[in-house]
């Protein structure tokens, strides 16, 4: 017997919104950002410094941290260095220090993105969504058991986001480094210019800049080079970069 109640033809889906932690000593700014992100459906907590951040993380790990640079006590750059080894944590730095050099330093120590204050809540939201997309496996991604890439003895699982060196040791990568490495191994032995890498590794709406790619490549080279004798990423003058080893899917 048909029901008299209207039926919504759109299938209900459940999406996971990441848990966001705002770390800033400016209480009014924290409240402003939190109110806006909560209105967009996010689960948001606050911390005023590094100590309260670690207490909050111990109670409940965050997926994405929005982190101020200039705070009393431990500064944001030092906090980023301590967080880089924690798998699965995305970091967006915000700071009154907004020069290109300041941004490059923030990326160099391990942040995934960097915004200058005053922060536009809508721009911050766009950066959060771009970071989410980079963290999320693509809809057509193969099952975890089939998703491993191998090169020069290295092994990358892009679903679990785990990189192991030839000796089996897990190498920690920031979200930016992971996105860049995945872009390279999906297009091995091809010259990729900075614009291509920006689109592939950071998302077409990330509003990133060329030297950020150079910084990420430099960091990635150091991590791969410490356990590899041969050259893996080569600079091609005036053209871009090329990932030299052949890549196989496990």
What's the predicted TM-score (pTM) here? 0.59
Distance CA 205, CA 198 (A): 9
Q: Given CATH 1.10.443.10, say whether it is the number of domain 19-135.
A: no
Domain ranges across the chain: 19-135, 144-249
What's residue 8's pLDDT? 41
Please answer whether residues 52 and 60 qualify as being in contact, where contact means their C-beta atoms are separated by less than 8 angstroms: no
What count of Cα atoms within 13 Å lies in the side-chain half-sphere of residue 84? 22
Length of the chain: 250
Fold of 144-249: Arc Repressor Mutant, subunit A (1.10.10)
Which among 48, 3, 45 is positioned nearest to 26, based on CA atoms?
Answer: 48
Mean pLDDT, contiguous 10-residue spans, the chain (250 residues) = 43 61 94 94 94 92 92 89 75 85 79 87 89 65 61 84 83 81 91 84 50 81 74 90 90
What's residue 143's pLDDT? 47
Please answer whether residues 163 and 181 qualify as being in contact, where contact means their C-beta atoms are separated by less than 8 angstroms: yes
Which among 119, 114, 99, 105 is positioned nearest to 26, based on CA atoms?
Answer: 119
What's residue 205's pLDDT? 40
Please answer whether residues 193 and 183 qualify as being in contact, where contact means their C-beta atoms are separated by less than 8 angstroms: no
């Amino acid at each position: 017997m048909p029901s008299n109640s209207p039926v919504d033809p759109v299938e209900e889906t459940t999406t996971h919104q990441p848990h966001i932690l705002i770390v800033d000593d400016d209480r009014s700014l924290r409240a402003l950002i939190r109110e806006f992100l909560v209105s967009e459906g996010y689960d948001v907590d606050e911390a005023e410094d590094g100590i309260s951040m670690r207490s909050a993380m111990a109670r409940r790990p965050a997926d994405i941290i929005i982190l101020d640079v200039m705070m009393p006590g431990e500064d944001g750059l030092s906090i980023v260095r301590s967080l880089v080894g924690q798998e699965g944590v995305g970091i967006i730095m915000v700071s009154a220090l907004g020069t290109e050099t300041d941004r490059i330093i923030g990326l160099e120590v391990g942040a995934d993105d960097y915004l200058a204050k005053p922060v536009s809540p809508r721009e911050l939201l766009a950066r959060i969504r771009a970071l989410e997309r980079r963290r999320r496996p693509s809809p057509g991604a193969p099952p975890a058991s089939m998703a491993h890439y191998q090169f020069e003895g290295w092994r990358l699982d892009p679903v679990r986001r785990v990189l192991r060196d030839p000796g089996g040791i897990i190498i920690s990568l920031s979200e930016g480094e992971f996105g860049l490495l995945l872009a390279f191994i999906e297009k091995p032995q091809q010259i990729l210019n900075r614009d291509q890498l920006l689109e592939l590794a950071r998302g077409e709406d990330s509003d990133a800049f060329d030297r950020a790619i150079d910084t990420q490549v430099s960091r990635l080279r150091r991590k791969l080079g410490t356990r590899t004798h041969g050259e893996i990423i080569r600079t091609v003058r005036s053209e871009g970069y090329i990932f030299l080893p052949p890549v196989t899917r496990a």
